[in-house]
Structure 1
Amino acid sequence: MAKRKLQKDENASDDDGNDSDVSMVNVDFDFFAPNPEVDYIAFKRLLMQLFQSDSEILAVHDLADLILSQPAIGSTVKTDGEDGDPYAFLSVVNVHAHQERPCMKAIITYMLEKSTNQPELHNLLQGLLGPEGLKSSNHVGLIVSERVMNIPVELVPPMYRSLAEEIKEAVRQNEAFIFSHYIFLTRTYQLTASQFEELQATASEPTKKKTKPTLPPTGDVPMMNDGVSTYSYHPEDACIQSHSLFTLDYPLTTQQPRDEESLGLDMGGRIMAVPAERFQELVDKMMESHPAS
Structure 2
Amino acid sequence: MGKKRTREVQDDPTVDKMDEDDSSSDEDMDIVNVDFELFNYDSQIDFHGIKTLLRQLFDTDAQLFDLSALSDMIIEQNTIGSTCKVDDKANDAYAFLTVLNLQQHRDKKPVIKDLITYLSQKAKQTDDPKLASTVPELLASDKAVVGLVLAERLLNMPAEVIPPMWSMMIDEIEAAVEDKEPYEFTHYLVVSRTYVEVASALDDERKIKKPRESSPQLQYFHPEDEEMRKHALASGAYGFTKENEAVADSKRAFQELGVKPQGFMMLIEASKFERAVKAVGEYVGSAA
In the alignment, the residues of structure 2 paired with residue 109 and residue 67 of structure 1 have an alpha-carbon distance, to the nearest angstrom, of 19
What's the offset of the Cα at 1:23?
2.7
C-alpha distance after superposition, 1:201-233 (max 9, x if no partner):
xxxxxxxxxxxxxxxxxxxxxxxx823122110
Change (3 A) 1:19 1:260: farther
What's the offset of the Cα at 1:25?
1.6
What's the offset of the Cα at 1:19?
11
**TM-score normalised per structure 2:** 0.82
Provide the secondary structure at the position in 2 that maps to 1:116.
helix
Change (3 A) 1:173 1:121: same
Counterpart residue identity of residue 123, structure 2: S
Change (3 A) 1:76 1:263: closer
- Corresponding position of 2:208: none
What's the offset of the Cα at 1:91?
0.7
Gaps of 5+ in 1: 196-224
Provide the secondary structure at the position in 2 that maps to 1:151.
coil
Change (3 A) 1:176 1:190: same
Counterpart residue identity of residue 81, structure 1: D
- Could you tell me which of 121, 125, 140 is aligned with 2:131? 121
Provide the secondary structure at the position in 2 that maps to 1:61.
helix
In the alignment, the residues of structure 2 paired with residue 6 and residue 251 of structure 1 have an alpha-carbon distance, to the nearest angstrom, of 35
Counterpart residue identity of residue 266, structure 2: M
The yes-or-no answer on 1:24 pairing with 2:31 is yes
- Corresponding position of 1:216: none
- Corresponding position of 2:68: 61
The sequence identity of aligned pairs, in percent, is: 32
The yes-or-no answer on 1:157 pairing with 2:157 is no
Indicate the RMSD between aligned Cα atoms, in angstroms: 2.5
Counterpart residue identity of residue 52, structure 2: R
- Corresponding position of 2:4: 3
Change (3 A) 1:283 1:259: closer
Change (3 A) 1:42 1:119: same
Change (3 A) 1:262 1:162: closer
- Could you tell me which of 244, 247, 250 is aligned with 2:238? 250
- Corresponding position of 2:55: 48
Provide the secondary structure at the position in 2 that maps to 1:125.
helix
Provide the secondary structure at the position in 2 that maps to 1:37.
coil
In the alignment, the residues of structure 2 paired with residue 263 and residue 288 of structure 1 have an alpha-carbon distance, to the nearest angstrom, of 31
- Could you tell me which of 108, 126, 150 is aligned with 1:144? 150
The yes-or-no answer on 1:241 pairing with 2:241 is no
In the alignment, the residues of structure 2 paired with residue 7 and residue 77 of structure 1 have an alpha-carbon distance, to the nearest angstrom, of 12
What's the offset of the Cα at 1:188?
1.1
The yes-or-no answer on 1:104 pairing with 2:112 is yes
What's the offset of the Cα at 1:26?
1.5
Contact 2:9 2:160 in 1 (8 A): no
C-alpha distance after superposition, 1:4-28 (max 9, x if no partner):
11112238999xx859953322211
Map 1:164-183 onto structure 2 (within 5 A). 164-183=170-189
In the alignment, the residues of structure 1 paired with residue 247 and residue 63 of structure 2 have an alpha-carbon distance, to the nearest angstrom, of 24
Q: Which has the larger radius of gyration?
A: 2
In the alignment, the residues of structure 1 paired with residue 47 and residue 151 of structure 2 have an alpha-carbon distance, to the nearest angstrom, of 14
What's the offset of the Cα at 1:291?
2.9
Map 1:127-138 onto structure 2 (within 5 A). 127-130=137-140, 133=141, 136-138=142-144
In the alignment, the residues of structure 2 paired with residue 235 and residue 53 of structure 1 have an alpha-carbon distance, to the nearest angstrom, of 21
What's the offset of the Cα at 1:262?
5.3
In the alignment, the residues of structure 1 paired with residue 238 and residue 267 of structure 2 have an alpha-carbon distance, to the nearest angstrom, of 14
Moved more, 24-33 or 43-52: 24-33
- Corresponding position of 1:230: 218
Change (3 A) 1:138 1:7: same
Change (3 A) 1:114 1:27: same
Counterpart residue identity of residue 138, structure 2: L
In the alignment, the residues of structure 2 paired with residue 140 and residue 183 of structure 1 have an alpha-carbon distance, to the nearest angstrom, of 7
Moved more, 93-102 or 269-278: 93-102
- Corresponding position of 1:80: 87
Change (3 A) 1:25 1:99: same
C-alpha distance after superposition, 1:47-74 (max 9, x if no partner):
0000011001022221111110100100
**TM-score normalised per structure 1:** 0.81
